[in-house]
Amino acid sequence: MRFMRSRFRLWKEWTKWNGNSWLYKIEVLFGMAHSPSFEYVLHWERPGYIITTEELHRWIKDKKRGLRS
């Protein structure tokens, strides 16, 4: 479960082009210094939606699985 040790930052910005949406940006820094870093953008239609750590880890895991295939 290497992704569980990943460091990540999650922040949200109010989108200027769509007043009804929050733009969530996740920057994921995997493990060691030579590992690549990925920046993901998540978008929800519900203002103020808060992502949980479990949801974030599940999303990262799915994303990494998709990157391998």
At 19-60, the pLDDT tens digits run 444 455 555 444 444 444 444 444 444 444 555 667 666 766
Residue 38 belongs to domain spanning:
2-68
Residue type, 25: K
d(CA 48, CA 21): 9
Model confidence, pTM: 0.31
- The answer to whether 10 and 29 have CB atoms below 8 angstroms apart is no
Q: Which residue has the higher pLDDT, 66 or 13?
A: 66
pLDDT of residue 58: 75
Domain count, the chain: 1
